Amino acid sequence: MAQQLLEVTDLYTQFFTRDGVVRAVDGVTFEVAAGETLGIVGESGCGKSVTALSLMRLIPQPPGKIVKGKIMFDGADVLKMDDDEVRGIRGNNIAMIFQDPMTSLNPVLTISRQISEALELHLKMDKSEARKRTIELLDLVGIPSAKKRVDDYPHQFSGGMRQRVMIAMALSCNPKLILADEPTTALDVTIQAQILDLLKNLAREFRTAFILITHDLGVVAGMTQRIHVMYGGKIVEKADTAELFANPKMPYTWGLLRSIPRLDERRKAKLVPIEGLPPDLIAPPPGCRFEPRCQYRRDVCREKEPPLEHIPNSKPDHEARCWGTQQGGWLVDTDWHKEVGDMRVIEEIKQEVAQLPPEPKPGDVPPPPAAI
């Protein structure tokens, strides 16, 4: 295989809480080539953000811990580095854009201080050089009259502008890889379009690799080359972008695609929701993680967990974690556009969900008032 920029092998990140061990990332393997854009899609709590934080070694410890795995970045093992070495990579070779531009900038420092800090630290620039570069960067991400605004504080910027500042900061040291964790979720549609457009152009211009983490299938459709779908701490489907949308092979991906209303839908089609709730990662289902919500489940799904394997009738790099669609499975020929699943199974799932949550113990007391 060609030289990969990032190789993650069998990564397990867990959180040790009072209620038990939360298996947030549970054996994730993937790689990113230089200049490539990879999308990681999933619902909240599926482990996509924790994966990104693990790559940067930013998991708060305790309660979190990277239990097992290997993260090779540019030929070096990130997990074996000491703190100083990690600091040399963080922000320098791998940069991160966070979801919430309102809270991820320091409110008491000017924009110029925040961006030039990294420049002075990593690139050993002196003050005036760093300032010049900061202004260039702000220009690059489209902040009008950057020269004047460089000494402003974050509160003087709007949400979209702050996200631009975050991007400028991420770009400051010419990183090889940028992790963008829901970069547009907190923004309005028109601003989202601006930011996505900017990211796309920057990726093209600087040949930076991106990992775009989002729950919005629409965002990844236009931005990425490959997509990994995550569910319950595991990657459940891997494919290149066109293939994933044209020929998805995992019932969870079908469910996601069927349950979102599309702007270009012709008729008022009925949405087909995924019944039930995302899994509890303290006590995940024993077999396939998606089994309790899957309309196509069979007994084998509850008993054994399917491996992430190449799927017949699909492109060579298309893999999915499903007994049904794998060689000899019962879903190999199913057309997900037409099928809505077994109605009896759907009813069963609805019944089960109606029974949740578990019975309160006798003498259950009202919850303590929320801490303020």
CA-to-CA distance for 113 and 135, rounded, in angstroms? 12
Q: Does the footprint of other proteins cover residue 196 (CB under 8 A)?
A: yes
Q: Does the footprint of other proteins cover residue 340 (CB under 8 A)?
A: no
Q: Does the footprint of other proteins cover residue 361 (CB under 8 A)?
A: no
Q: Does the footprint of other proteins cover residue 335 (CB under 8 A)?
A: no
Considering the complex, state which of residue 109 and residue 271 has its C-beta at the smaller distance from other proteins. 271
Q: Provide, rounded to whole angstroms, the least separation between the CB of residue 183 and other proteins.
A: 13
* Beta bridge pairs of residue 94: 90, 177
Q: Does the footprint of other proteins cover residue 346 (CB under 8 A)?
A: no
CA-to-CA distance for 82 and 98, rounded, in angstroms? 24
Q: Provide, rounded to whole angstroms, the least separation between the CB of residue 272 and other proteins.
A: 7
For tokens 């299938």, the residue is 217
Alpha-helical (H) ranges within 90-126 are 111-122
Q: Provide, rounded to whole angstroms, the least separation between the CB of residue 351 and other proteins.
A: 10
Q: Does the footprint of other proteins cover residue 139 (CB under 8 A)?
A: no
Considering the complex, state which of residue 1 and residue 354 has its C-beta at the smaller distance from other proteins. 354
CA-to-CA distance for 39 and 218, rounded, in angstroms? 11
Residues 6+ apart with CB under 8 A from 232: 26, 46, 47, 278, 279, 281, 284, 285, 289, 290
Binding segment toward other proteins, per CB under 8 A, in 72-80, 97-105, 187-195, 311-319: 187-195
Residue among 158, 174, 201, 313 that touches other proteins (CB under 8 A): 158
CA-to-CA distance for 294 and 251, rounded, in angstroms? 7
Residue among 129, 216, 309, 348 that touches other proteins (CB under 8 A): 216
Across the beta sheet with 64-73, what order do the strands follow?
Answer: 20-32, 6-17, 64-73, 76-77
Q: Provide, rounded to whole angstroms, the least separation between the CB of residue 216 and other proteins.
A: 7
Q: Does the footprint of other proteins cover residue 217 (CB under 8 A)?
A: yes
Q: Does the footprint of other proteins cover residue 75 (CB under 8 A)?
A: no
First to last CA, the chain: 53
Q: Write the DSSP symbol of residue 287.
A: S
Q: Does the footprint of other proteins cover residue 168 (CB under 8 A)?
A: no
CA distances from residue 316 to 66, 103, 240 in whole angstroms, order as listed: 31, 42, 10
| 8 Å CB contact between 229 and 205 | no
Considering the complex, state which of residue 115 and residue 195 has its C-beta at the smaller distance from other proteins. 195
Helix (H) or strand (E) holding 100: none
Residue among 3, 44, 128, 327 that touches other proteins (CB under 8 A): 44
Q: Does the footprint of other proteins cover residue 35 (CB under 8 A)?
A: no
Residue among 7, 36, 182, 275 that touches other proteins (CB under 8 A): 275
Q: How many CB atoms lie within 10 A of CB 356?
A: 8
Footprint on residues 234-253 left by other proteins (CB under 8 A) = 241-242, 245-246
| Total residues in contact with other proteins, by rule CB under 8 A | 56
Residue among 264, 316, 333, 361 that touches other proteins (CB under 8 A): 264
| 8 Å CB contact between 241 and 226 | yes
CA-to-CA distance for 263 and 278, rounded, in angstroms? 26
Q: Does the footprint of other proteins cover residue 205 (CB under 8 A)?
A: no
Residue among 263, 343, 371, 372 that touches other proteins (CB under 8 A): 263
Q: Provide, rounded to whole angstroms, the least separation between the CB of residue 117 and other proteins.
A: 26
**What are the tokens at 81?**
């580095």
Q: Does the footprint of other proteins cover residue 19 (CB under 8 A)?
A: no
Q: Does the footprint of other proteins cover residue 270 (CB under 8 A)?
A: yes
Look at residues 97, 7, 37, 9 and name the one whose alpha carbon lies nearest to residue 241. 37
Residue among 137, 199, 235, 274 that touches other proteins (CB under 8 A): 274
Q: Does the footprint of other proteins cover residue 60 (CB under 8 A)?
A: no
CA-to-CA distance for 47 and 281, rounded, in angstroms? 10
CA-to-CA distance for 293 and 226, rounded, in angstroms? 26
Footprint on this chain of other proteins (rule: CB under 8 A): 43-44, 144, 158, 160-161, 188-194, 196-197, 215-219, 221-222, 241-242, 245-246, 255-265, 268, 270-275, 277-278, 350, 354-357, 360, 366-367, 369-370
